[in-house]
Amino acid sequence: MTLLIEYTLLYASVLILVALGGCFAEHSGVINLGLEGIMVIGALGGALTMSTIATSFPDTSALVIVLVVIIISILFGVVYSALLAVACINFKGDQTIVGTALNILGTAAATVIVKAINTAADPDNVSSVVKYIQPKKAFLFDLGPFEFNWFMVVTIIALVAAYVTLYKTKFGLRMCACGEHPQAADSVGINVYKMRWAGVLISGALGGLGGIVYITAGVSEWKFEYGVAGFGFLALAVMIFGQWKPQRIALAALLFGLFRALSNVYTGFDFMVALDLPSGVYNMMPYIISLIVLALTSKKSRAPKAEGIPYDKGQR
C-alpha cells in the first residue's frame, strides 16, 4: 500500500509539472504538443549529469546533486523548447507539425547522443541506456514509513508558484490576455511575441523537469529509445481535464497518477493478482481512463480562445 501511495505521488508530480508547462504555453496562445520531446531532452540532461557525477565526482554532497540535476534538466528543456518558439511564434509554423516533429526529434536525438557516448566509452556497448543508481539516492528521504522524493517538494513549490504567477501577477494576467485575444493585448501595449516566447520557455522548463522526475521514478537506469511512453500527452489530457487551472490540474494528476501507479505495483495486491489479467491490461488503464474522462469533460472546455492561431500583427 505504501508503495502504491509513493508511486501515485511520483507520477502525479510528473503529470503536474508537465501539465503546468502545457498550461503556461496555452495561456500564452501556443499549443505545445512537443511536451513529450521536451521531457525526453530534459530527462537526457538530468540523466547525463547524474551519470557524470557518479563517475567523475562520486563524493558530491546530496544537496548539490539535487540542485545541479534540476538546473541542468530545466536548462535542456528551455533550450529545446526554443525550437518550438522560433518556428511557431516568429515563423508562424503549424503548431501541430512542429510539436510532433519535436517529439520524434527528441527521442531520436537522445538515442543518437546516448549511443554515441556509450560507444565512445566502450566500443562494444551499443545500448541507449544511461545508469544513475548512486546519485539517484540523493533525491530520496524517509518520513515515517514513506520514502519521499525531493521532486515532490519541488512540484508543490512549482504548483504554488504557477498559481500565483498566473492569477496574482501582472505578468501572468498579461500572458493570459495574449492567449484570449492577442490583438486586444497588443492594442494596450503588451508585446504578444515576447509573452508567447515566455509561455513556451516556461513550458520547456517545467517539461524538462517533469522528464527527469519521470525517468527516476522507480528505476535507476533509462533506455532512451523508449522516449517517455506518451506521458507528455497524458499530461495534456490532465491539463484539459483540469480546465487549464493549476489547482484542478493537481487533482486531476492525482487521479491519473493512481492509475499509472497501479500498473507498476498491481502484483502487490492479492485480489488483483487473483483476477489473472495480462499485464497489458494494467498498462492500458491510464490511457483508457484519460479517454473516458476527456470524452466526458471536453464538451464544455474552457480552452484559451486564441490558442493554436499564430499571431500576425497585420491581421484584423
**In the numeric block, which cell numbers belong to residue 82?**
526554443
Contact mark string toward other proteins, 18..37, x via CB under 8 A = ---------------x----
The DSSP code for 232 is H
Q: Which three cell numbers stand for residue 224?
A: 532512451
Residue at grid coordinates 493478482: 273
39-47, 116-124, 251-259, 265-273 -> range binding other proteins (CB under 8 A): 116-124
User: What is the smallest separation between the CB atom of 69 and other proteins, expressed in angstroms?
Assistant: 24
Which residue, 92 or 168, has its beta carbon nearer to other proteins? Answer: 92
228 three-state secondary structure? coil
Pairing of the two strands 146-149 and 221-223:
unpaired
Among 55, 119, 125, 169, binds other proteins (CB under 8 A): 119
Interacting residue with other proteins among 219, 272, 294, 309 (CB under 8 A): 294
Which residues, at least 6 apart from 190, have a Cβ–Cβ distance to it below 8 Å? 174, 177, 178
Would you say the C-alpha torsion 174, 178, 183, 189 has a positive or negative sign?
A: positive
Does the footprint of other proteins cover residue 280 (CB under 8 A)?
A: yes
**Span 125-164, contacts to other proteins by CB under 8 A:** 126, 128
Angle CA(50)–CA(249)–CA(207) in degrees, nearest 5?
Answer: 30
Q: At 190, phi and psi to the nearest 5?
A: -90, 135
- Rule CB under 8 A: say whether 298 interacts with other proteins: yes
User: 218 phi and psi, to 5 degrees?
Assistant: 85, -15
d(CA 65, CA 74): 14
- Nearest distance in Å: CB 81, other proteins: 13
At 287 the three-state DSSP class reads: helix
Number of residues that bind other proteins (CB under 8 A): 52
> Does the footprint of other proteins cover residue 93 (CB under 8 A)?
yes
The span from the CA of 93 to the CA of 97, in Å, is 8
48 binds other proteins (CB under 8 A): no
One of 63, 116, 156, 157 touching other proteins (CB under 8 A): 116
CB of 99 to other proteins, least distance (A): 8
Whole-angstrom Cα Rg for the chain? 20
Binding to other proteins, residues 219-258 (CB under 8 A): 225-227, 229-230, 233-234, 236-237, 240
The one-letter amino acid at 208: G
Smallest separation (angstroms) from other proteins to the CB of 70:
27
Judged by CB under 8 A, the residue of 2, 96, 169, 267 near other proteins is 96
Chain residues that interact with other proteins, rule: CB under 8 A: 33, 83, 87-88, 91-94, 96-98, 100-102, 104-105, 107-109, 111-112, 115-116, 119, 123, 126, 128, 225-227, 229-230, 233-234, 236-237, 240, 278, 280-281, 283-284, 287-288, 290-291, 294-296, 298-299, 301
